[in-house]
Structure 1
Amino acid sequence: MIAEHWPLFGLRLRTPRLELRVPDLTDLAGLAQVAAAGVHDPGVMPFVVPWTDRPPGEVARGTLQFHWRMWGQWAPDDWALHLVAVHDGQVIGTQGVDARRFAVLREVGTGSWLGREHHSRGFGTEMRAAVLALAFAGLDAQWAISEAFADNAASYGVSRKLGYADDGIARHVVRGEAVVGRRLRLDRAGWAANRTIDVRIEGLEPCLPLFGC
């Protein structure tokens, strides 16, 4: 079994409607298809790297290559866990959580996207709540950070709902233009005070050394 050699394949995060897991090849194929079909309004760009501007076939291949690259680069002091979100047996998007020097800093970042047909259904909140539970309850994180462009009301709304506080701004160049990102930060007390979604974590213990824990 692959999980004997790479225990992250046995990790599961479960919310009332979703299962989050490290994708196998079938899951990745489904995720690539979702990405190629579109994950946001083409008139706006919610990502610092505009990877969705490419033709659908290239977006699909890039999605596969990104996940493979993250697997190959994994190190306990520099890791990025990218999970697929599965609803009723269908891959609908991806949720990531990452950290550098986690054993010292105890801080994680998050990022996610959903297929357009799955927007505005509360899935983004459940996905973020799942990895926050993994970070705070499972890995003993002290902080979680996030960022959304000033015009990304949906992402900002998820952060505020889960207890994040404003933490300044960052400026980026996207599609050749300057854009402003709103940074947000969540501490352990804020996470605990704003927990409203039940999250079950399975298969974490054998993964802990991979997270630097």
Structure 2
Amino acid sequence: MKPQHWPLYGLRLRTPRLELRLPDLELLNDLASVAADGVHPPDEMPFTIPWTDVPPEERGRATFRHMLSTVADWSVQDWALGLAVLYEGRVVGRQDLTARDFAVTGQVSTGSWLGLAHQGRGIGTEMRAAVLHLAFAELGARTAVSSAMTDNPRSLGVSHRLGYLPDGTTVAAVRGAPVTLQRLRMDRARWEEYRSVEVTVEGLDGCRAEFGA
């Protein structure tokens, strides 16, 4: 796909095992299929928005539509970069990097999911390291924040390995019940101390201004 009118389609992040990029329609179809196949056991709900409660077909369709909306709704003041994660050439999950008023705050947030078949291999850590490199090394971010339910040790483990520090807790309503979320924060110095994944970035010059960097 030629990124003539939306240069973000030319952005590539690469780590030793992964490639992250904005999915074209073919990759988006593959990503939706991964979501439809399941991203967590049915007796768990690791997300504050229970988008995975619907049947597989609806889950895939919702993923497809939501990813398109992140392109359609993009603005310099409020952007959401949703990247397909490829492992050995196959889509295995999604990694988001989002920000509001980034030019003023210098703060980004991350979110992600992996297909069930691809969990437990360290991919989650590597793909978040990729977008943290984009944020801090390439866009000049000052802080990165994240959050996870206190009973979600995998997500919390990824954050701790990458250098995030606890930043208090908050309560959200999920499926009509309260859940406690651990907030996490990392500044540039902490990121530099903990960075351990080699990341290369391609195609950023053509779309840097879209981030408010």
Scaled to the shorter chain, the TM-score interval is over 0.9
Residues in 2 aligned to 1:71 and 1:2: alpha-carbon distance in whole angstroms: 15
SS of the aligned residue for 2:4 comes to: helix
Paired letter, 1:46: P
Which residue does the alignment assign to 2:81? 81
Which residue does the alignment assign to 2:129? 129
TM-score by length of 2: 0.99
Residues in 2 aligned to 1:150 and 1:108: alpha-carbon distance in whole angstroms: 21
Map 1:80-159 onto structure 2 (within 5 A).
80-159=80-159
TM-score by length of 1: 0.99
Residues in 1 aligned to 2:88 and 2:208: alpha-carbon distance in whole angstroms: 29
Which residue does the alignment assign to 1:13? 13
Q: Give 1:140 shift.
A: 0.1
Residues in 2 aligned to 1:160 and 1:134: alpha-carbon distance in whole angstroms: 19
Please identify runs of 4+ aligned residues in structure 1 that moved more than 6 A.
none
Please give the per-residue CA displacement for 1:118-146, whole angstroms capped at 9, x wherever unaligned.
11100000000000000000100000000
Please give the per-residue CA displacement for 1:156-202, whole angstroms capped at 9, x wherever unaligned.
00000000000001100111110000000010000000011100011
Please give the per-residue CA displacement for 1:102-123, whole angstroms capped at 9, x wherever unaligned.
0000000000000001111000
Q: Percent identity?
A: 54
Q: Give 1:206 shift.
A: 1.1
Please give the per-residue CA displacement for 1:73-110, whole angstroms capped at 9, x wherever unaligned.
00001000000000111000000000000000000000
Which residue does the alignment assign to 2:209? 209
Residues in 2 aligned to 1:31 and 1:127: alpha-carbon distance in whole angstroms: 15
Which residue does the alignment assign to 2:200? 200
Runs of at least 5 residues in structure 2 that lack an aligned partner in the other structure: none
Map 1:56-67 onto structure 2 (within 5 A).
56-67=56-67
SS of the aligned residue for 2:183 comes to: strand
Which residue does the alignment assign to 1:37? 37
SS of the aligned residue for 1:4 comes to: coil
SS of the aligned residue for 2:104 comes to: helix
Residues in 2 aligned to 1:68 and 1:25: alpha-carbon distance in whole angstroms: 9
SS of the aligned residue for 1:5 comes to: coil
Map 1:170-189 onto structure 2 (within 5 A).
170-189=170-189
Q: Tell me, yes or no, if structure 1 residue 23 matches structure 2 residue 38.
A: no
Paired letter, 1:144: A
Paired letter, 2:182: R
SS of the aligned residue for 2:198 comes to: coil
